[in-house]
Amino acid sequence: MSILTTILILLTAIIVIILIAAALLPDTYTIERETIINQPKQQVFNYIKILNNQQYFNKWVMADLQMRKTFTGTDGAVGFIYAWDSDNKQVGKGEQEIKAIADGEQVDSEVRFMKPFEGKLLASFITTATTPGQTRVRWIINGQRNFMMRVFHLLFNLRKTLGKDMVISMDNLKNLMERAN
């Protein structure tokens, strides 16, 4: 057997293994990160529920300071839509809509991606008082993925990559909120 034939067989085997592994991944995914912020719960919650504040802590929103933004409705209220459009392919185009608010407790929003790929996920921020002056913030994203997205998640270890970006964003939020003293 020639070296070229052996290489082709190995490449084919690797591709088949990747496709089988992707097929076995669930259609849904959840990524969660949390931090403790040394500020009262209501103060932290009031800041988080304003989607426009993400420009100061969310790594993904901060990736292109020149992106075009539009706002529809009242920020911090159910139905508010923050839309973005960027020439940066990593930022792309999409929108985020506040779907539910439990005052002082939780904000749920739906994020709809249009470019560079289509998709959507549910993002939730949950605040819990650990002491009167300290708040635990949990950020949870839940999404669905088709077969190609499962392959993409597997190849690029998106759970780890997205989780790392979420940690950076949570650290930014913590630093921002604690400096506000």
Q: Which pLDDT tens digit goes with each residue over 57-75?
A: 999 999 998 999 999 999 9
Strand partners, 99: none
Question: How many angstroms separate the CA atoms of 26 and 56, rounded?
Answer: 33
The pLDDT score that the predictor gives to residue 159 is 78
The pLDDT score that the predictor gives to residue 181 is 62
* Residue 44: Cβ-neighbour burial (10 angstroms; 0-12, 13-18, 19+): buried
The yes-or-no verdict on residue 26 having pLDDT over 90 is: no
State the pTM of this model: 0.85
Kindly report, residue by residue over 133-168, the tens digit of the pLDDT: 999 999 999 988 877 787 777 777 777 888 999 999
The yes-or-no verdict on residue 107 having pLDDT over 80 is: yes
H or E, element range at 90: none
b/e 156-170 (16+ beta carbons within 10 angstroms → b):
eebeeebeebbebbb
Kindly report, residue by residue over 109-135, the tens digit of the pLDDT: 999 999 988 889 999 999 999 999 999
Q: In degrees rounded to 5, what are phi and psi of residue 22?
A: -65, -40
* Tokens of residue 99, six digits: 């779907």
Instruction: Give the mean pLDDT of 8-33.
Output: 86
Confidence band, pLDDT 50/70/90 cuts, at residue 19: confident
Contact 128, 107 (CB under 8 A): no
